A and B are shown apart, each in its own frame.
Chain A
Amino acid sequence: GENVEQHPSTLSVQEGDSAVIKCTYSDSASNYFPWYKQELGKGPQLIIDIRSNVGEKKDQRIAVTLNKTAKHFSLHITETQPEDSAVYFCAASGTGNQFYFGTGTSLTVIP
């Protein structure tokens, strides 16, 4: 089955700086890669996703890049704000339509 690895497990940045979280996957059949943000006491919420026919997608301060050859994808958050502090999960899904999640990155934005 699919194996998704996520790094780093914790990340602290100063407010206004950029944050980058990286994930790798093992199954070349995976073709859908969502990113979720989980705040304390809440369920994960989708913040951005990308499909395998696209190399990059951007939504305001958030962007995701995908390198199919290397089987890795990354989340980029620019101009970070304290409300960006949360746990972020990457995921991969393929032909089986099951989602395989990374182990999470705890992001802290220091005011």
Chain B
Amino acid sequence: EADIYQTPRYLVIGTGKKITLECSQTMGHDKMYWYQQDPGMELHLIHYSYGVNSTEKGDLSSESTVSRIRTEHFPLTLESARPSHTSQYLCASSEPGNQPQHFGDGTRLSIL
């Protein structure tokens, strides 16, 4: 059913490693988002994009970075992972304007 895919689903990795979380959507949506969510808790927007070559920071400060070179792809990178980065990361996309967001199933990240 989902047309938005996140990989990996789970990642356990040591401190200091560089991590890239992948997000791809096949719906041709211009808008894409990254949220951070502790399980079952509130979603916090960390990055969003209005289209190719557009990236903006969200309300929650994050040490991660994003890129949007292609419409369908919106990867998130942590240059040096720390235990405080342990969380679930959700990617979403939507059509322009106030339209429903479509979410991926998330990446559960654990930094040791």
Identify the A interface with B (CB < 8 A). 1, 31-32, 34, 36, 38, 41-46, 49, 51, 87, 89, 93-94, 97-99, 101-104, 106
Number of CB contacts from chain A to chain B under 8 A: 52
In the assembled complex, the Cα of A94 lies from the Cα of B100 at a distance in Å of 13
Interface pair A46/B41, CB less than 8 Å apart: no
In the assembled complex, the Cα of A34 lies from the Cα of B101 at a distance in Å of 9
Nearest chain B residue, comparing its CB with the CB of A93: B98
Residue of B43, B45, B96 most packed against chain A (CB within 10 A):
B43
Q: A43-B104, A44-B90 are in contact. Are A101 and B98 (CB under 8 A)?
A: no
Which positions 37-55 of chain B face chain A at CB distance < 8 Å? 40-43, 45, 48
Interface pair A43/B105, CB less than 8 Å apart: yes
Contacts of B103 on A, CB cut-off 8 Å? 36, 43-45
Contacts of A36 on B, CB cut-off 8 Å? 103
Range of interface residues on B (Cβ < 8 Å): 20 to 34
Query: Contact partner of B101 among A51, A99, A104, A106, CB < 8 A?
Result: A99
Query: Contact partner of A41 among B45, B101, B104, B105, CB < 8 A?
Result: B105
Contacts of B33 on A, CB cut-off 8 Å? 99
Tell me the smallest distance from the CB of A74 to a CB of chain B, in Å. 19
User: 10 closest pairs, A vs B, by CB?
Assistant: A43-B103, A32-B98, A101-B43, A103-B42, A46-B100, A43-B105, A93-B98, A44-B103, A87-B40, A43-B104
Mask of B90-101 contacts with A, CB within 8 angstroms, 1/0 = 101000111011
Tell me the smallest distance from the CB of B26 to a CB of chain A, in Å. 15
Nearest chain B residue, comparing its CB with the CB of A39: B105
Contacts of B48 on A, CB cut-off 8 Å? 98
Tell me the smallest distance from the CB of A48 to a CB of chain B, in Å. 10
Tell me the smallest distance from the CB of B46 to a CB of chain A, in Å. 12
Nearest chain B residue, comparing its CB with the CB of A94: B98
Interface pair A101/B42, CB less than 8 Å apart: yes
